[in-house]
Amino acid sequence: MLGSYHNHPGYCDGSGSIEDYIEAARAAGLVAVGVSSHAPVPFACDWTMTVERFAQYVADVRAAQTAWRGRFPVWLGVEIDYLDPALVPNGAAFQREVVLGGGLDYAVASLHFVGRDPEGRPWAVDESDESFARQAATVYCGDVRRLVEDYYGTLERLTSWARTLPVPVVVGHLDKVKQWNVGERYFSESASWYREAVERVLAAIRAAGVPIEVNTSGLRRPIGAPYPGEWIMRRCRELGIPVVVGADAHQPGDVAAGFVAARELLAAVGYRETLVLGAAGWETVPL
Ligand SMILES: [Zn+2]
Ligand SMILES: [Zn+2]
C-alpha cells in the first residue's frame, strides 16, 4: 500500500519525464506517485526550478494527472524549502505568491539552507562534503556542534511554518545534516546535546501535527542509512508521529528504491501504518 511522493523529474536537478516516474511506480507495484521538484527560491540557485520552469512543470503534471485519471493516482507536489526570515526576508511571501498561489496537491517541507556561506550566499547543508567541512571550519570556526544545533534549531522553526502551508505537508529528510557524517567523523549521534536537539524538533513536529518522511536516499549514499535513522524513527513511533515513505528519487528507476528496507525499519520500530494521499489529504493505510 505504499505510494512514492518524493520524486524529482527533470525540471530541477532530477532527471526523467513525469511519465517515466508513473511507469516506474506502476512497475514497482506502488499505489500512487507524486512528483516534488525543488520549488523556485527568490535567489540564484542551480538545483531548484526557475519560475518559468515551474509554470511548465505544473502544466505538465496536471496534464499527466488528467491522462491517468481513474487508472493511477498522480499528485502534484513540490519540495519546498524553509527559508528562515533572517536569511531570506522575502522568502515566505515569494513562496505564497509564486509557489503556493496556483494550487498544489501537497508539499514536502525540507530544510537545506542554514545560514550563509563565507561569500554571503544561503548555504545548503547537503551541497558537498567539501562544502560542509569548509562551512564548519570557517563560518563556525571549527565548532561542528554549533552548526548542527543551528540546523536543528532552524528545523524547529520549519515545523511551525510547515503547519501553516495551505496544502498537506510532510517534513522531509529530518536528519539530513548527517549526510557527510560517515563514520561519525563530524559528530556523535549518541552525544546528549545531539539527542536533545533532535528531541526538541520531534516535540515541535508532534505539536504541529504534521507527518514526517522516512527518506531512503541516504541508503544510496556513503552514510548508508535512511533519513532519519532507526533511533529517531523509534522515538517518532513512541511520540505517535505519522510517517510517509519517500525515495527522494532523482531518476525514475529510484522511485521505490529502499522501500523494502524502509518497510522493515518501520515494522521493527513498531509502525503498523503509513500514509497515502487522498482527495482530503493524508489517509492512514496499513503498512
Ligand atoms: Zn531535499
Ligand atoms: Zn528531494
Domain extents for the chain? 3-286
Gap from CA of 180 to ligand 1 centroid (Å): 14
Instruction: Find cell 517515466 and name the residue.
Output: 20
Residue 83 CA to residue 81 CA, distance in Å, equals: 6
Tell me how far the alpha carbon of residue 222 is from its chain's centroid. 19
Report which DSSP code applies to 156: H
Ion ligand 1, residues whose Cβ is below 5 A away: 110
Residue 29 CA to residue 23 CA, distance in Å, equals: 10
Tell me how far the alpha carbon of residue 213 is from its chain's centroid. 7
- AA letter at 104: L
Nearest to 172 by CA among 205, 199, 144, 128: 205
At 1 the pLDDT is: 85
Instruction: Find cell 499528485 and name the residue.
Output: 75
Answer for the pair 112, 81: CB distance below 8 angstroms, yes or no.
Answer: yes
- AA letter at 231: W
Nearest bound ligand to the CA of residue 36: 2
Gap from CA of 112 to ligand 1 centroid (Å): 7
Gap from CA of 21 to ligand 2 centroid (Å): 14
Nearest bound ligand to the CA of residue 246: 2
**Upstream peptide bond of 286 is cis (omega within 30 degrees of 0):** no
Gap from CA of 173 to ligand 1 centroid (Å): 7
Residue 14 CA to residue 194 CA, distance in Å, equals: 32
CATH architecture label of 3-286 = Alpha-Beta Barrel (3.20)
- AA letter at 214: V
Residues of the chain with pLDDT under 70: none
Whether this prediction's pTM lies above 0.75 is answered by: yes
Nearest to 77 by CA among 16, 177, 175, 4: 4
Answer for the pair 64, 19: CB distance below 8 angstroms, yes or no.
Answer: yes
Nearest bound ligand to the CA of residue 247: 2
